[in-house]
Amino acid sequence: MGGTTLKTIGSKTWAGETVWNEGFSPVDEANGDFNQRLWASTGGASLFEDAPWWQSHVLGADVTKRQVPDVSFDAALSTGALIFVQGQAEPIGGTSLAAPLFTGVWARMESAHNNKLGMPAKDMYVRFNKHKAPLHDVTVGNNGYLGHGYKAKVGYDNTTGWGSLDISPFDSYITKYW
């Protein structure tokens, strides 16, 4: 699961997305934490897991290791979710938000289609390569720092995968193709 920074017009109208990359967290010397963490979308090739046939077939024969992410959802702290902890609203972001967002969407799709869909990854690669209607292709941003990492591009990339899903067209798409 990759992450994006969501842009909206008002609170309801989608206006675009970029690769989620909020840079490094500050060092917290007071608590003895001297490590900085890069708060950005995941992405890249596995060092160990072989690429499934459907990923190599679509992305190219030179793809021999599992590529991630497959898709992305909002992960930016500024556009993510608010949860309440001990009565106080706290913003939540990261791929720890994006993954449950996708899981919830997929669970709703499974229920709406009599639990006959199965794991979506194979079908995403086979179908999204040719039919991009349910996708918001994210083409701006990177998941690295100082020239390291991956850059977004048209189509599949190692920053946001195929991009994010436009839920209503995605449901229609599943009905037609799955």
Give the residue extent of every domain in the chain: 2-177
B/e letters for 125-135, b = 16+ CB within 10 Å, e = fewer, are bebbeeeeebb
Please give the model's pTM, rounded to 2 decimal places. 0.87
Q: CA nearest 106: which of 92, 94, 97, 117?
A: 117
Token pair for 47: 């060092």
Percent of the chain with pLDDT over 70: 98
What the block records as the tokens of 100 is: 């449950």
Residues whose CB is less than 8 angstroms from the CB of residue 38 and which lie 6 or more positions away in sequence, other chains included: 21, 23, 24, 144, 145
Model confidence pLDDT, tens digit, residues 75-121? 998 888 888 999 999 989 999 999 999 999 999 999 999 999 988 99
Identify the architecture of domain 2-177 in CATH. 3-Layer(aba) Sandwich (3.40)
What the block records as the tokens of 111 is: 């229920």
Within 13 Å and on the Cβ side, how many CA atoms surround 64? 3
